[in-house]
Amino acid sequence: MSLTPRPFTLLFFGLLAGGLFCGQLAAESRMWTSTEGKNIQAELVDVLNGEAVLKVAGQTNTVRVPFARLSTGDQEYIKAWKKPGAPVPGKQDKPGKADPKKPADPKKPGTPESDDEDADGEGKDTDAEDKDAEEETNDATGFPIGVNSVVKRDENGWPEVVALKEKPAFTVVKEDKTEDSFIYRSDHFEFASSQRLSGEIVREFSRLFETSFEAVVCLPLRLNPKPPAGFFKVKLFATSEAYYTAGGIPGSAGMYTGRTKEIMVPLPFLGVKQIGQRWVLDDRDGNHTLVHEVVHQVMHDWLIYLPTWVTEGIAEYITAGRYANGRLTLRGHGKNMEDYKDSGGRETKMVALDKLMSMDDETWARALTTGGASANYRTSMLLFYFFCHEDGDKTGKAMIDYFKARRKKYGDDKEERESILVRGRDGAALLKDFKKGLASVGIRLS
């Protein structure tokens, strides 16, 4: 790896001028090296949520690279870097003193882009919508894409295939047998386990989580997910019993807890088993039904701004894809949807669409214990698919516009739902279009 010209001179003046020179140094382009040995010449323009935001000369969009994928030297550079315009030590304004030249920045409480407190009262490092759009990395077609994926899209920009470019890099953060504490990190996830795991195992189940993350990123809905404190957290348990004791739902293969923003999952459900004192791979694709929980975790910042049928529908939409070996196939999604619908048996019922779209969280949760949950999930999945692919001009523009509207507005979604998705149709008319649209791809509802 080589720095820009005059590395010794830059270092000398950096030491001499201290923090005052950091802003000038930060504006320099430099060579960055990934853990795989790949290089990119770019300027560091920001550091957000455990990722370096890089600007390549001549390109409009920035590139976001997780710290874990950068060389040790690059990570040390980031630690010493100061963002241009940041206060110089000893030169800050006194507390409470406002800059008279800078207009007040009114916050939009509760929006995914606001740096106000989120639903849990925790501060967020996100800014306004226009800044999020600027930070988003787009592919050659202008749609969002992650840093480690190859995406094949249909003519309207919806992903047909999402595949990892390479197996996720991972880092061993901690392995302490005396505390039964073992922590591993992939690009966007941190796995805390009570058992020591081999590199092969960590890499194999990391790719399930990373593929799911990439699938959410590349949707034309522009969800722009950001890991809290740098990484999405996952707790791994040696047995189902330990998982249940920690609060796991009996009979479940894993769950996402919005309160702690963590996924909990027993190791046996990640495609591994214990033989003596060793854990070995038993199923290289693990349990792909966990994709549903990963989608919820990745979309955490959105969960309180969307109705339940949308959040569950999008999670099921991605889960209905065919996952194998770090590759999620959504092509022929109509067939995927039909297979998923039929997985509940011939007696699977659909929920009235107007009832589903106005269903509150309490009613949805009650169905989990009183029956009717499977109908809620399946109808939500099919309805989300319908609005994305089969309604109106079949481009999914209405759903994209709906998400754009929800991104800007906090509170009841009825106004956007009626004006953007329903568009004046009563329950009977919407149901007729729903059935007709699904029938065109071979999904027939009674």
Give the tens place of pLDDT for each residue, 394-433.
Answer: 999 999 999 999 987 777 889 999 999 999 999 999 999 9
Check whether residue 216 and residue 163 sit in a common domain: yes
Mean pLDDT of 9-21: 30
Check whether residue 173 and residue 278 sit in a common domain: yes
Check whether residue 278 and residue 406 sit in a common domain: no
DSSP-based three-state secondary structure for 63: strand
Site of tokens 């999904």: 443
Tens of pLDDT, residues 70-94: 888 888 888 888 776 554 444 443 3
Residues 7-46 as b or e (16 or more Cβ within 10 Å = b): eeebeeebeeeeeebbeebbeeebebbbeeeeeeebbbbb
Check whether residue 166 and residue 256 sit in a common domain: yes
Task: Give the domain extent around 378.
Answer: 332-446
Check whether residue 278 and residue 187 sit in a common domain: yes
Among 211, 42, 261, 224, CA closest to 143 = 224
Domain count, the chain: 3
Check whether residue 282 and residue 353 sit in a common domain: no
At residue 39, does pLDDT exceed 90?
Answer: no
Tens of pLDDT, residues 139-157: 888 899 998 999 999 999 9
Residue 177 located in a structural domain: yes
Check whether residue 161 and residue 219 sit in a common domain: yes
Residue 172 located in a structural domain: yes
Check whether residue 289 and residue 356 sit in a common domain: no
Check whether residue 427 and residue 372 sit in a common domain: yes
Q: Whole-model pTM above 0.85?
A: no
Which among 87, 113, 144 is the end of a domain? 87
Check whether residue 68 and residue 156 sit in a common domain: no
At residue 21, does pLDDT exceed 90?
Answer: no
Residue 311 located in a structural domain: no
Check whether residue 52 and residue 151 sit in a common domain: no
Check whether residue 58 and residue 167 sit in a common domain: no
Residue 74 located in a structural domain: yes
Residue 312 located in a structural domain: no
